Structure 1
Amino acid sequence: MKSITNTSFIHFSCILTDVLLKILLSFGDWLYACVAIERTLAATQGIHFNQSKSKYIAKYVMPILLLLISISYIHDPISRRTINDIDDEQRIWCILEYSTSLKKYHKFINIFHVFIPFIINILSAICITIQVFRIRVKTKKKSAYKKILYAQIKQNRHLLISSCILILLSIPRLIISFLSGCMDSIRNPWLYLIGYYISFIPPLLIIILFILPSRTYKQEFLSIIQKINFFSK
């Protein structure tokens, strides 16, 4: 950190680096929620689900979603400033100052961006399980209801498990966002760095969380891999 002496770069990093991390990580969580909503609609509508219309809507939903998330975090860069401490620490501090109302809003918006996508994912998994259960019980006897329900829960358990893993990995980021105080990067960086690294885990685990646990997605993924010739020039 001491090797960086460009004040413009340090000021830019202070203002935008942290907020960009928050925006992009929250955007990833909301994209998972959007996929869950689309999956639920496909399960409930069946053959009437319009895939072309879904793709068309997604082209508009994604940039609008990114814009709304960015606006929700606009208070963060506005409240940041740099202080050059030449006398004591001989370093440039990045200071974040919130008023009482902004502190409450900051806590609310962080909780909102973490838990609402999680709730959407959980409700999506429950809705899909119930919908498929309703379809299959129409052709079965009443005594087989429990077996069918158990089979559907087992088949869709990866949706519940992946949602729980995502929320567990997001909790450290949420906790660190509530911590107040200055971080002395040279002396004690580990708590904050670990929190950031944990926050990057969910985007890196898409295959493990969503594709490999699902038999359909896994087969499709493996078939695509087999078609790709990695050694072609």
Structure 2
Amino acid sequence: MRLYNTLTRRKEEFHPIDEKEVKMYSCGPTVYNYFHIGNARPFIIFDTLRRYLEYKGYNVKFVQNFTDIDDKMIKRANEEGITVKELADKFINEYFVDARRLGIKEATIHPRATENIDAIIEMIKKLEEKGFAYNVDGDVYFSAKRFEEYGKLSHQSLEDLELGSRIDVNERKKDPMDFALWKAQKPGEPAWDSPWGKGRPGWHIECSAMANRYLGETIDVHSGGQDLVFPHHDNEIARVKLQTASLLHGIGFTMVS
């Protein structure tokens, strides 16, 4: 079987690390609303790949997360006068209703970001200790220019990347391309204790921590929609490369849809 490798921009023969098992991570939905047809397309594609691998005799450990804390969720919860957790519970339940109607199997594990705060904090601490993250009054940012290979998945240099394209433009950052790993609590926001004060994780750190916790340092397939190649998956590559001795085996197999 051949899969498209975003890193090399070629279809390549797929060879799992373990001849009997495939470890697969897929970026799941941010549960502030019902998922739409554009979301459904990659869910179905990656479910089809998972089913085919199982058909071929592999034991597939498939992890698909729920992002249950971010700016959109806080805004929607405030508008509805409910807690962020109540909003997440509602739309996670609705995800499964719609997924079942589409014939999508449940993942082996569906972790929530809020269930993995400790793992996220530990990952940020290691990046800070290595000099790749810095704290500004409780906000912790990843220093993109410290990582020479930043942009390798999307095949863009830092100079070529456009400001404002899913990038948080913030004067508090040392460089516009730096991205938030941890966000200090604002009034009325949910927050967790951390070495930097009360706050919550940035979007890009969540998947790195969950993939590492549930699948280990090396996985076979990391999948996601085309719109996630930059900056989300580029950011994941930067963190994983700095966290471990080797790059995720399958991060290049970020299949686009």
**Fold-level match, TM-score > 0.5?**
no
Q: Which has the higher contact order (CA 8 A, sep 6+)?
A: 2
TM-score (norm 1): 0.25
Which one has the largest radius of gyration?
A: 1
TM-score (norm 2): 0.23
Structure with a larger share of its residues in strand: 2
Structure with a larger share of its residues in helix: 1
